[in-house]
Chains A and B, each alone.
Chain A
Amino acid sequence: MTVQAANPPIAPLVPATTPAATESGDLGAPLYVAWQITNECNLACLHCIEESGPGKAFKDELDEAQIFSILGQFMDHEVPYLSFSGGEPMVHPLFFKMVEFVCARDGQLKIETNGHYLTPENCDRLKTLGVKAVQVSLDGATKATFNRMRVRGDFDKATEGVRNLRAAGVPIEVNYSPTYFNVHEIGTAIDLAYELGAYSFYTGRTMYTGNAVKAWHKLALTEEQYLQFFETLHRKTEEYRGRMRVHFHEMGLLDELRYRLHHPAALLIVLPNGLVKLINALPFICGDLRKESLMDIWGNFQRAWQDPRVAQFIDDLSRDPGKTSSLHQWVYV
């Protein structure tokens, strides 16, 4: 047995906060892959940043062979945490097969859904397969606000879906997007999430992009509303401490992007056609999983953040916040 001469001390266990806050630096692979597996959705939400909806699947979404080849790479490189979102991921015909693939290889998988397909049978299946958590979007504490935001959606169906998750024993997270007309319900929405059995509640500022651009006159919050919103969130964080995690991003988009420019997260965003984005809030594409390996893209991800066009876009954003409306006009870096 080799005895090493140098004895570096064991460093104290200091958390690097969240995967999104973990810098990609010297990591050999991403820590988190957020995969939008389809752009198809049963709903057409006013604020959807992906412009998803019925009939909105990309024409070039990945086929079965491509999907499982890519998933295999993620597992081979020990990407510890994945999420499947959309669109609505549960409408993807290979959804359960993909879930099974990841869970069978010991990947930690979160599903981000609108909750409308969370039947008792599907929840039991998710439990059996071993998903880490299911995150359900509940943008409102009442039918009136939820149904207004989630066009074609049904508050009762979504909350019933969450109850089915609870009955099946699947860990639950709730996500909430604030708007002008639902922001007053943030406190009761958090209470509702807890009553429904959630262990975590996420929210932040609603982005001016995707469908929200067209509906902004109905959605935009005033600064006063945001002040009250974050005040309530701070209060609720304390109220639920130890029982449910209330997690929110108070930082505005511009500050977040300026920080990320120098501290890229160890996170890849994969689009339904296999393109990889630098970060959701920028239009830059740093790879194509149909043509390049995960490792090649991971290498390019680090370099792409240094591309002057990225810094320029963020700089321009400070003068023209409306630039986020062009996030779907991809720029290859």
Chain B
Amino acid sequence: MRLSKYVKFREEKFGGVLFETRSEKVFTLNAVATAVVREINAGADETALVARLHELYDDRDGAIEREARAFIADLRLKGLVQD
């Protein structure tokens, strides 16, 4: 999984931004969403990414994992990442 060709990612103090330059749409990301995109940008697959989030966050109830998977699905749906 990686960011699509025309998608740029930049980290910010508040989290980060994703910029889809074909449609010229910008998406703002909070800290956790930024952590997800950072892992994608580093080339992690979904399984590795979720494992990494477990390392980073206390996710005993699995909420972070569920949200991360939903977030990744949304990224795919919007064409912001590709496998």
A interface residues, Cβ below 8 angstroms from B: 1-5, 7-22, 26-29, 31, 78, 80-81, 108, 110, 132-133, 171, 199-200, 245, 266
Contact = CB atoms under 8 A, between A and B. Distances in A.
Contacts of A80: 8, 10, 19, 21
Chain B: number of interface residues, binned into ranges: 35 or more
B75 interface: yes
Contact of A28 (B12, B22, B58, B75): B12
Given A7-B63, A28-B12, A31-B26, A13 B78 contact: yes
A18 B33 contact: no
B21 A81 contact: yes
Nearest to A130: B5
A19 B24 CA distance: 6
B44 interface: no
A302 to B, nearest CB: 14
B27 A10 contact: no
Contact of A4 (B6, B26, B56, B75): B56
Which of B12, B24, B56 has the largest count of A CB atoms less than 10 A from its CB?
A: B24
A199 B24 CA distance: 13
26 contacts: A1-B56, A4-B56, A4-B57, A7-B57, A7-B58, A7-B59, A9-B67, A10-B32, A10-B67, A12-B74, A13-B71, A13-B80, A14-B27, A15-B27, A16-B27, A26-B12, A26-B13, A26-B14, A27-B12, A27-B17, A29-B10, A31-B10, A81-B19, A81-B21, A110-B21, A133-B22
Contacts of A245: 23
Interface in B9-51: 10, 12-14, 17, 19, 21-33, 36
Contacts of A15: 25-27
Contacts of A18: 24-26
Which of A18, A108, A199 has the largest count of B CB atoms less than 10 A from its CB?
A: A108
A59 to B, nearest CB: 34
Given A16-B26, A19-B26, A31-B19, A108 B6 contact: yes
A277 B22 CA distance: 25
Contacts of B31: 8
Contacts of B21: 80-81, 108, 110, 132
A81 B14 contact: no
B25 A7 contact: no
B33 A11 contact: yes
A245 B22 CA distance: 10
A166 B58 CA distance: 51
Nearest to A20: B24
A46 B57 CA distance: 60
Nearest to B10: A78
Contacts of A16: 25-28
